[in-house]
Amino acid sequence: MERMRNVINLILAATFLAVGGLACAWLIRTKPMPERRSGFARILEVVAVPVAPSVETTPIVGHGTVRAKHQVKIVPQVSGKLLQVHEDLAPGKIIPEGELLFAIDSTIYEARLRQAQAEIRQLEAALERSDQEIANLDERIANARQMLTIDENDFDTSKQLYEQERVGTQRDLDMLHQKVLSRKDSLIDLSSRRSVIPHIKTETLAQLDAARARHTQAMHNVESTTILCPFEARVEVVTAYESQVVTAHFSIATLTDMSAFELAVGIDPRELRWLDEAIRPEALEHAEGVAGPAVTVHWSLQGQEFVWRGHVTRLERVDEATRTARLVVEVRELEMKATVGTGSNETGPSLAIGMHCRAELPAEPLEGALLVPRHVIYDNRWVYVFEPDPATADPRVGRLGRREVPMLRSIGDDVLVEYTGREGVEVCELHRGEQIVLSPLVKPVVGMKVRLREERVASVLDEPAIQTGAELRLTRESGASRCLRLRDVQPSVLAQLRAFRRGD
């Protein structure tokens, strides 16, 4: 019995082994054959577009904060109580030119002015009295001289008569001599008084000049009790109010001139060479107030963009901390109102201090400019191009070439490598019409075989198609195709697809 059971087990095992072997043989015999691929599929496929020259006018972009061109502090020249304050004197208010800002109590200063006026009148009267006294003394001196002459003649006659004819007495002669001496003494006294009067007049004139200076100061103090708005201004700070006593030489308000604002735009110093010739630093030094090309100033708020127009006035400095060159852009009163977006006629808010704005400085137009995407430059020196291979009949099969290019200027995602009339030792081996490789290359080898990838991008790459979730079908020449839903495609990929389509 046991022997029969073992035979049956052996038979079953052999049967199972035979069935499994047959199944394996059937699976191996019926396996699907792999898809055959042509030889060119093993060649590296790349995307390449021809390089075309253009006129490069991309502006140079800088950023800065708006500040006031002129800002003054209102500092009273006299102390006193404020009797009147402008009703709109509050931060943010606009006050027209010439309106009264502050009125200080002028009672004391008007009294000092009247006192100075009275002193001037008194000294002027003293001068007139001195002039009159001089005239009187001159007349008295003339009379005294005549009387002295008469007495001297009388004395001389009496002396001759006494000495020659013994007429009269010695006493009479002495009395006449005494009279002559008295006349001389009176004349000397009058002459002395006459010589002192000019010095007194000089002192009076000095006192009059001092009195007039005090009068001028008093008048200035009276005028300083009223403070007018020097220009159309926006109030920034106010620290004094009605009925408050203010002290001279201490600021009580700060005003900003609304006629012009400034924007110190920071740019890379290497970008100065690409500026329009009229706004380069060396040209601005000799501009003498002549307005150069317009600068566009942009400011965004809640997704809305506002635009102003300004002009570059000077190079302020090269900032050591930020390593930027600061060009001052001035926005004048006539250009103060913003337009909503570029090319719009709708007006927006006025420019305000503290706005952080973007300024587009006009660049010098470059003829025959060659621009290449930044990502296709390797080691900051090389770009790879597609070179047709004369050994093959397929125009889409070629070899990988390498060109040396200088990185002259960064413009967004592109780099300027050549333009007409360029001077310098940098070599640019890339020429117009050559097909530059856009595909990323891993360890590229010059001369390796490459094949142009041809993917026809449909015209549904516009924004409405993306919003509606349209589908994009990419078809290779081999017939294989792939379908993408535009809504799921990353923006960077869409940008590459658009660029590739423009290359087609």
Assign 3-class secondary structure to 128-183. Answer: HHHHHHHHHHHHHHHHHHHHHHHHHHHHHHHHHHHHHHCCCCHHHHHHHHHHHHHH
pLDDT for 499: 56
| For residue 490, pLDDT beyond 80 | no
pLDDT for 301: 85
Percent of the chain surpassing pLDDT 70? 84
What tens digit of pLDDT does each residue of 278-290 get? 888 888 877 665 6
pLDDT for 373: 93
Please give the average per-residue pLDDT across 482-490, as a whole number: 49
Name the percent of the chain in helix, strand, coil, to the closest 5: 35, 30, 30
| For residue 462, pLDDT beyond 80 | no
Please give the average per-residue pLDDT across 250-259, as a whole number: 91
pLDDT for 213: 95
Give the pLDDT band of residue 174 (cuts 50, 70, 90). Answer: confident
Q: Are 240 and 246 in contact (CB under 8 A)?
A: yes
- CA 176-178-181 angle, to 5 degrees, is 115
Cβ density class 409-428: b for 16+ within 10 Å, e for less: bebeebbbbbbeeeeeeeeb
Sign (positive/negative) of CA torsion 329, 332, 338, 342?
negative
Q: Which of 38-47, 295-304, 338-347, 421-430 has the lowest mean pLDDT?
A: 338-347
Q: Which of 68-72, 332-336, 361-365 has the lowest mean pLDDT?
A: 332-336
Please give the average per-residue pLDDT across 190-219, as a whole number: 91
DSSP state of 432: T
| For residue 160, pLDDT beyond 90 | no
pLDDT for 61: 93
What tens digit of pLDDT does each residue of 357-405 get? 999 999 999 999 999 999 999 998 999 999 998 888 888 899 999 999 9
Please give the average per-residue pLDDT across 323-341, as a whole number: 78
Please give the average per-residue pLDDT across 51-70, as a whole number: 92
The structural domains of the chain, with segments of one domain joined by +, span: 38-57+365-453, 60-67+257-361, 108-223, 454-504
pLDDT for 340: 67
CB-based contacts of 494: which residues, under 8 Å, 6+ apart?
461, 466, 486
Give the pLDDT band of residue 156 (cuts 50, 70, 90). Answer: confident
Please give the average per-residue pLDDT across 188-197, as a whole number: 87
pLDDT for 346: 62
* More confident of the two residues 11 and 79: 79
CATH assignment of 60-67+257-361, among 2.40.30.170, 2.10.109.10, 3.30.499.10, 1.10.760.10: 2.40.30.170
pLDDT for 226: 94
Give the pLDDT band of residue 186 (cuts 50, 70, 90). Answer: confident
CATH architecture of 38-57+365-453: Beta Barrel (2.40)
Please give the average per-residue pLDDT across 225-229, as a whole number: 94
* More confident of the two residues 499 and 258: 258
pLDDT for 337: 61
What tens digit of pLDDT does each residue of 414-453 get? 999 999 988 878 889 999 989 999 999 988 899 999 999 8
Q: Which of 106-115, 162-171, 174-183 has the lowest mean pLDDT?
A: 162-171
Give the pLDDT band of residue 336 (cuts 50, 70, 90). Answer: low
pLDDT for 334: 59
Token output for 287: 């501009």
Please give the average per-residue pLDDT across 465-480, as a whole number: 45
Please give the average per-residue pLDDT across 252-271, as a whole number: 91
DSSP state of 90: S
Please give the average per-residue pLDDT across 203-223, as a whole number: 94
Please give the average per-residue pLDDT across 300-311, as a whole number: 88
Q: What is the mean pLDDT of the chain?
A: 83
> 3-state class of 214 per DSSP?
helix
Please give the average per-residue pLDDT across 83-112, as a whole number: 92
Q: Is the pTM of this model over 0.85?
A: no
Q: Which residues pair with 423 in a beta bridge?
A: none
| For residue 166, pLDDT beyond 70 | yes
